[in-house]
A and B are shown apart, each in its own frame.
Chain A
Amino acid sequence: MRNRLKGGQQNSAVFKGIGSILASAVFSLMLIGVAHAGNGQPSPWQIGFQEPVTVIARQIESFHDFLMIVITLVTLFVMGLLAYIILKFNEKANPVPSKTTHNTAIEVIWTIVPILILLVICIPSFRLLFAQYTFPKADLVIKATGNQWYWSYEYPDQGGMSFDQLMLRDDDNNPIGGPDGQPRVLAVDNFVVVPVNKNVELLITASDVIHNWTIPAFGVKVDAVPGRVVRAWFNADTIGTYYGQCSELCGKDHAYMPIGVKVMSEADYGTWLAKAKKEYASSEPVGKKSGDTQLAASVNASTNR
Chain B
Amino acid sequence: MSNSELKHHDYHLIDPSPWPILGAASAFTTAVGAIIWMKSLDDGDGVFGVTGWLPFAIGFTMILVTMFVWWRDVIKEARVDKALTPVVQIHLRYGMIMFIMSEVMFFVAWFWAYFDVALFPGAGVMGFEAREAITGGHWPPMVTETDGGYFKGTFDPWHLPLLNTIILLTSGATVTYAHHALLKDDRKGLIIGLLLTVILGVSFTVFQAIEYMDAPFTFGGHIYGSTFFMATGFHGLHVIIGTIFLAVCLVRAIKGHFTPQQHFGFEAAAWYWHFVDVVWLFLFVAVYVWGAGTPVTH
A–B touching in complex (CB under 8 Å): yes
Within B131-153, the residues touching A (CB, 8 Å) are 131-133
Is the beta-carbon distance between A228 and B127 smaller than 8 angstroms?
A: yes
Q: Are B126 and A228 in contact, with the CB atoms below 8 A?
A: yes
> B127 touching A302 by the CB < 8 A rule?
yes
CA distance A66 to B249 in the complex (A): 66
Q: Is the CB of B129 within 8 A of A304?
A: no
Interface residues of A in 227-261 (CB under 8 A from B): 227-231
Q: Which residue of B lies closest to A225 (CB)?
A: B127
Q: Is B162 an interface residue (CB 8 A)?
A: no
Interface residue from B125, B130, B132, B133 paired with A304 (Cβ < 8 Å): B125
CB pair A295–B129 under 8 Å, yes or no, is yes
List chain B residues, Cβ under 8 A from A230.
Answer: 127
A294: Cβ under 8 A from any B Cβ:
yes
CB distance from A292 to the nearest CB of B (A): 10
Residues of A within 8 A of B31 (CB): none
Residues of B near A229 (CB, < 8 A) are: 123, 127, 129
Min CB–CB distance A80 → chain B (angstroms): 43
- A226: chain B residues at CB < 8 Å are 130
A291 touches B127 (CB 8 A): no
Residues of chain B within 8 A (CB-CB) of A228 are: 126-130
List residues 99-144 of chain B with CB under 8 A from any CB of chain A: 123-133
Chain A 257-305 residues near chain B, CB threshold 8 A: 291, 294-295, 298-299, 301-305
Shortest CB distance B227–A (Å): 16
Q: Give every chain A residue within 8 A of B126 (Cβ-Cβ).
A: 228
Q: A227-B128, A228-B128 are in contact. Are A291 and B133 (CB under 8 A)?
A: yes
Within 8 Å CB of B131, what residues of A?
227
Q: How far is the CB of A297 from chain B (nearest CB, A)?
A: 9
CB <8 Å contact, B129 and A299:
yes
| Distance A154 CA – B227 CA, assembled complex (angstroms) | 35
Minimum CB–CB distance for B138 against chain A, Å: 15
Question: What sequence of 0s and 1s flags, for each residue 194-227 of chain A, a beta carbon within 8 Å of any chain B beta carbon?
Answer: 0000000000010000000000000000000011
> How long is the Cα–Cα vector from A189 to B123 in the complex, in angstroms?
34
Chain B residues contacting A231 (CB-CB under 8 Å) are 127
CB distance from B211 to the nearest CB of A (A): 30
Residues of A within 8 A of B123 (CB): 229, 298, 301-302
In the assembled complex, the CB of A219 is this many whole angstroms from the nearest CB of chain B, namely 21
Give Cα distance in the complex from A226 to B133, angstroms.
13
- B123, B129, B133: most-surrounded residue (chain A CB, <10 A): B129
Name the distance in Å between A100's Cβ and chain B's nearest Cβ.
37
A53 to chain B, nearest CB (A): 27
Which B residue sits closest to A204, measured CB to CB?
B127
Determine if A298 and B132 form an interchain contact, defined as CB atoms under 8 angstroms apart: yes
Complex Cα–Cα for A205 and B130 (A): 11
Q: Which single residue of chain A is at the shortest CB-CB distance from B123? A: A302
Measured in the bound complex, the distance between the Cα atoms of B123 and A91 in whole Å is 66
Whether B133 lies near A294 (C-beta < 8 A) is yes
Which B residue's beta carbon lies closest to that of A299? Answer: B129
Which has the most chain A C-beta neighbours within 10 Å: B124, B127, B130? B127
Q: Out of B124, B125, B128, B129, which one reaches A294, CB within 8 Å?
A: B129
Complexed CA–CA distance, A228 and B126 (Å) = 7
Give every chain A residue within 8 A of B127 (Cβ-Cβ): 228-231, 302, 304
Q: Tell me if A302 and B130 are in contact (CB < 8 A).
A: no
Distance in angstroms from A293 CB to nearest chain B CB is 11
CB of B129 to closest CB in A, whole Å: 5
Listed in ascending order, the chain A residues whose CB lies under 8 Å from chain B are 205, 226-231, 291, 294-295, 298-299, 301-305
CB<8 Å pairs between A and B, sample of 19: A205-B129, A227-B128, A227-B131, A228-B128, A228-B129, A228-B130, A229-B123, A229-B127, A231-B127, A291-B130, A295-B130, A298-B123, A298-B132, A301-B123, A302-B129, A303-B125, A304-B125, A304-B127, A305-B125
